[in-house]
Chains A and B, each alone.
Chain A
Amino acid sequence: MSSIEPFNRLVKLAARAFYDDITTKGENQQKIGRSDNRGIAVVILDALTRRQWVREEDLAKDLKLHTKQLRRTLRFFEEEKLITRDHRKETAKGAKIYNAAFAATGDGQQTGREGDDKQKMHTHSYCCLDYAQIYDVVRYRLHRMKKKLRDELESKNTVQEYICPNCSKRYTALDALRLISPYDEYFHCESCNGVLVAESDKLAAQELGDGDDNARRRRHEKIKDMLSKMEVQLKPLTDQLARVKDLAVPEFGSLHAWEARANAAGRSANGDLDANDPSKSSHGFGGTPMPYVGETKVEVAFSGIDEKGETLKSENASIPMKVLPPWMIKEGMNLTKEQRGETRAEITTGGTLTAAKVSDDKTSALANDEEKNIQDEYLKAYYAALLLRQSEQEETMKRQELASATISDEVYDTTTDRLVGMKSKRNEDYEGDDVEWEEAPPTGSTTKQFKVDLNEEAEASEDEDDDDIDWEEG
């Protein structure tokens, strides 16, 4: 979830900067409802940042908006290229797929979603923020704003435009030769013979009333003022753009792909008893493991069990992350330890007996049940030994690893007894507050804490590593 945060912030900033007051401009006429509904656009965009693909009716219900009003706004955003929409005729089954997918994303907003839709053959519309495009759109918009002001300020290198007030046909100075009339000194429209008006003159006249000599100077001042104001006021937005620049963009894909992914992730998480853990949302989110959506990988970094589980269970599990080369790691990326290349060290040093062993187990890929049993024994011994001196965070971490182990065990019947044992152990271990534990994995700071803790116990494991190899061969 963390990687999307800068982008969500970008969307929110852009919404407030550009779409806060969309009732003013004439071309956005559709926004003007009977009542004053400015600000709705911002609300909708904010709501979309908290969702992925969402059915528009559901969104309307959540926002307590009329669907028509919502649609109008969404259509506007679609024209603005902020969101992608998908319309499809779907039966109850299709709706169910979506519901399942939605539930699997675990966004916490799907309360009562399952029951409430009439499952007829209906055209449903879905919408989703298109972060990549939003980034481009916002940048382009800023660029155009600046360019327009600068050009006007310098009023050089600009091709003068002329507009016919009658038929609003536009000409540029390049057409000048065709427009001069032999009778007077004005340009005349080719189609209606009306006198053309220089466009910026018209603007100036509108804004300042008279078109005398001072007007130009005053306009100049005004534009300069606007430009500096714009730079100051849009500073947060440009900053955010710069921050987001090097991040990979969260991609939900098309509605269909997203559903498929989310469902798959949901299925994998269903058997999980501690079902609300972040691995779920990360699956629903990324589906295919993205290098920066790393919650599962955080778990991996702490415990070998999890890794083993993932290798065994091939279907939904993300493959262990590759270590990113240092030049790929940029500021603002949310990487797991493993991606930064620190896991290796963690496992060998902080890795207590079990962790190291199991990671080796993973690499050998020959894990079978006997080995697992031995591992379990090691695990138990390990837990017993460490139980006293482990910090609370470590314990929560352990619980997490166990939780993920249960996911894998669910797939393989052979390991069920281990599952039971593990669970009971976890129960006897420590029942800390769930909230803290759930928050822990995604944030970078806490993972660092883990690492520190693990390093403290580093020395113990060195010879055990050797042991480990023997054991594997045996």
Chain B
Amino acid sequence: MFFHMVLERNMQLHPRHFGRDLRDKLVAKLMKDVEGTCSGHHGFVVAITGIDSVGKGLIRDGTGFVTFPVKYQCVVFRPFKGEVLEAVVTMVNKMGFFAEAGPVQIFVSNHLIPDDMEFQPGDIPNYTTADGSVKIQKESEVRLKIIGTRVDATEIFCIGTIKDDFLGVISDPGATS
């Protein structure tokens, strides 16, 4: 689930950036530092959408670095248990398959794949129904439901299921090729 929220961060800026475009430099550095990171509490920071305020800088003794407290708005993404996501399959193996929904890695074990889908080893490992109409392989897009999350300080990992109504392959690139 996505959230738009205000976060705060103390930015350290090298003295060489001091000048007319100090603020731009600060924002650029903030984006570089923050976007794409993951905190266990808020989830993945997807994008910074604005700067609320930049506080008074504090010059560090010895280094000359300046610390600015910056308040910024950002979009965060945090997966929740029970949430339904669309994800791209990145790897298929006998144990199930891995998929990515943006920054989040999701594992779907073979127990949570519908019973009528069978693992087919080979060049392109995939899960296929008996009649071959549905195929899950690398690059497939699937809709899945998250049934468990593991949230570490800097990492979020999920397990999902496609063994439920309206879950499974959305579009199958393998079918056209």
Q: Are B164 and A176 in contact (CB under 8 A)?
A: no
On chain A, the residues within 8 Å of B163 by CB distance are 155-156
On chain B, the residues within 8 Å of A176 by CB distance are 95-96, 98, 107, 109, 157, 159
Q: Are B157 and A185 in contact (CB under 8 A)?
A: no
How far, in whole Å, are A155 and B111 apart by their CA atoms in the complex? 7
On chain A, the residues within 8 Å of B31 by CB distance are none
On chain B, the residues within 8 Å of A156 by CB distance are 112, 147, 161, 163-164
A199: nearest chain-B partner, CB-CB? B111
Q: Are A198 and B148 in contact (CB under 8 A)?
A: no
Given contacts A156-B164, A198-B109, contact A174 B95 (CB under 8 A): no
Q: Are B93 and A186 in contact (CB under 8 A)?
A: yes
How far, in whole Å, are A186 and B91 apart by their CA atoms in the complex? 12
Cβ of B105 to closest chain A Cβ, rounded Å: 6
Report if A157 contacts B (CB, 8 A): yes
Q: Are B150 and A186 in contact (CB under 8 A)?
A: no
Given contacts A156-B147, A185-B125, contact A177 B107 (CB under 8 A): yes
Chain B: interface size category: 20 to 34
B112: nearest chain-A partner, CB-CB? A156
B93: nearest chain-A partner, CB-CB? A185
Given contacts A156-B163, A159-B148, contact A173 B115 (CB under 8 A): no
On chain B, the residues within 8 Å of A180 by CB distance are 91, 93, 95, 98
Report if B94 contacts A (CB, 8 A): yes
Chain A binding site: helix, strand, loop or mixed by DSSP?
A: mixed
Report if B121 contacts A (CB, 8 A): yes
How far, in whole Å, are A176 and B125 apart by their CA atoms in the complex? 18
Cβ of A243 to closest chain B Cβ, rounded Å: 37
Cβ 8 A contact of B94, one of A157, A158, A160, A185: A185
On chain B, the residues within 8 Å of A186 by CB distance are 93-95
Contact indicator per residue, chain B 12-56, by CB within 8 Å of chain A (1) or not (0): 000000000000000000000000000000000000000000000
On chain B, the residues within 8 Å of A160 by CB distance are 109, 111-112, 159
Supply 8 further A-B pairs (C-beta < 8 A) apart from A156-B164, A180-B98, A216-B115.
A157-B161, A173-B148, A174-B159, A176-B95, A176-B96, A176-B109, A180-B91, A198-B111
Nearest 5 CB-CB pairings of A with B: A185-B93, A174-B150, A176-B107, A160-B109, A173-B159
B residues with CB within 8 A of A: 91, 93-96, 98, 105, 107, 109-112, 115, 118, 121, 125, 147-150, 157, 159, 161, 163-164
Residue pairs across A and B with Cβ atoms less than 8 A apart, 19 shown, are A155-B111, A156-B112, A156-B147, A157-B147, A158-B111, A159-B147, A160-B111, A160-B112, A160-B159, A174-B107, A174-B148, A176-B96, A177-B105, A180-B93, A185-B93, A185-B94, A186-B94, A198-B111, A213-B118
